[in-house]
Amino acid sequence: MESSLRIVAITNCPAGIAHTYMVAEALEQKARSLGHTIKVETQGSSGVENRLSSEEIAAADYVILATGRGLSGDDRARFAGKKVYEIAISQALKNIDQIFSELPTNSQLFAADSGVKLGKQEVQSGSVMSHLMAGVSAALPFVIGGGILVALANMLVQFGLPYTDMSKGAPSFTWVVESIGYLGFTFMIPIMGAYIASSIADKPAFAPAFLVCYLANDKALLGTQSGAGFLGAVVLGLAIGYFVFWFRKVRLGKALQPLLGSMLIPFVTLLVFGVLTYYVIGPVMSDLMGGLLHFLNTIPPSMKFAAAFLVGAMLAFDMGGPINKTAWFFASHCWKTHL
């Protein structure tokens, strides 16, 4: 490898709490030990820190992208034409030496548009898993914040504070805290679906996916026994995301093209998927989710230990990766439904 390289990097993970900063620190330490200069932009739970400037990116010899929830279209566009080394955040921490040794041989010329080729290298597009992780990452603060408030309300009741809901007069403080907490669980599903869709097709997909996923998870609106839950968020988020991704490529002429992203895409997408969700997708996904919850409610006592062991093993399997987040999100949804 050439001596004294200039390197820039981005790190992010689904939760944005641990791996984002651990990998950033490891990259900085390794680069310094090799005599390279490096700047790492972290996209964690506190937002973007140490943001890379366009000048720093232009001057860099290599770009390292260690991501667990993918990058937005705007982020990817920043590195067009650069030599980029991509690695999953879950693999980066245990392969720091390999990252630097493979920079000259495994870095690829990069473009924001996954259909573009630069030189002889074909640019890799975002994977479905990276889009799912973007949705999970966005939903986590809703689950965490809401869950802590619900737990706090229950703890206060255990200590003797009264619990009175609105049907019995003026609501108590514990009821108010619990209700605010359950708002987090209410909105985690539409937020998850919206961020999955926007990870695929950017901002035009966000609002339609949010509204349609809210509809799919509202059993009163659908007239079903249960909401579509996180299964509905995954299916609708992906479907709406790829639909809008295709829709954005439509060319309507100079006069109408400016209206495509702000008016036509939200209107058409919401109409098409709203109707489909009400009559088809919502009821089907609600039945699937209801069947799954019924199975868990009626599981024989002898099998509960095995089920708990399976979920625990999934949580510990991949150091905060996709399997961990899937199990964690599923368990949180079961908590929301009082399972």
Is 334 catalytic? The answer is no
Long-range contacts of 176-180 (CB under 8 A, 24+ apart): 177/149, 177/152, 177/153, 178/149, 178/150, 178/153, 178/154, 180/146, 180/149
Q: One of 5, 7, 9, 13 is an active-site residue; which one?
A: 13
What span, in angstroms and rounded, lies between the C-alpha atoms of 322 and 124? 20
Q: Take residue 223 and report the two structure tokens written for it.
A: 């007239």
What span, in angstroms and rounded, lies between the C-alpha atoms of 279 and 316? 39
C-alpha distances in angstroms, 304 versus 233, 292, 325?
27, 15, 21
Least Cα distance to 54 among 30, 24, 70, 78 occurs for 78
What span, in angstroms and rounded, lies between the C-alpha atoms of 205 and 219? 23
Specify the amino acid at residue 299. Answer: I
What are the catalytic residues?
13
